[in-house]
Amino acid sequence: MTIMRSKEDLRALYGHPKPIPTNKVIDHVDDYCQRFIALSPFLVLSTQGKDGLVDISPRGDAPGFVEIENKISLLIPDRRGNNRIDTLENLIENPAIGILFLVPGMDETLRIQGVAEIETDSELCAHFSVQNKTPKSIIRVKAQEVYFQCAKALMRSKLWAGDYAIERSSFPAMGEIMKAHTQLDGPAETREEMLERYKDMMY
């Protein structure tokens, strides 16, 4: 087993990037990025807590659910979840954040790194209300590094083509998995029961 121990060893193995990957990073959300964000119904947030562990959290809603406050700041509503609030607790301890935006049908993705703060202004939260449900907080992201990621990863995965899509029934229901992981008594929640429960919990 050979373990890499230095950046020099990594560069000796991989070589150096060409000018475009090196120079493509910008420090603001330009018109191209704004258009991509407006089309995106799904993103993944990455934060890190005081313990050093990295948390990754998916967020999704109708395209445009992330708003552009200005060329530096984005606003992301914190929709109803399970109240673990790992992302929010991490941001209290460490404001660093990374975001990956996806747009169905596009193999390119958009990456934003920066810092974030948690906003609870009532008028701002009300602006993001859906189905008369108002988020308790808004994550304001201040971009520092912004760039488009090339298409190769999604092309290899054939994510939008559906080549690797499975029948959902071929994988255990989440209720069965949660029962095993939590070791709780009682019957496992069926997928039908879960979907019915989510109807009133989506926002």
pLDDT of residue 202: 87
pLDDT of residue 19: 85
Residue 70, pLDDT above cutoff 90? yes
Distance CA 87, CA 117 (A): 11
Distance CA 20, CA 66 (A): 28
pLDDT digit string, tens, across residues 146-190: 999 999 999 999 999 999 999 999 999 999 999 999 998 889 999
Q: CB–CB of 45/1 below 8 Å?
A: no
- 89: burial class by Cβ within 10 Å (0-12, 13-18, 19+)? middle
pLDDT digit string, tens, across residues 119-137: 999 999 999 999 999 999 9
| Domain edges within the chain | 8-157, 168-198
pTM here?
Answer: 0.93
Read off the pLDDT band of 112 (50, 70, 90): very high
- Count of CB atoms within 10 A of residue 147's CB? 16
Q: CB–CB of 41/60 below 8 Å?
A: yes
Strands laid side by side in the 96-102 sheet: 54-60, 42-48, 96-102, 109-119, 138-149, 73-77, 67-68
pLDDT digit string, tens, across residues 14-38: 999 888 888 899 999 999 999 999 9
Which fold, 8-157?
Pnp Oxidase; Chain A (2.30.110)
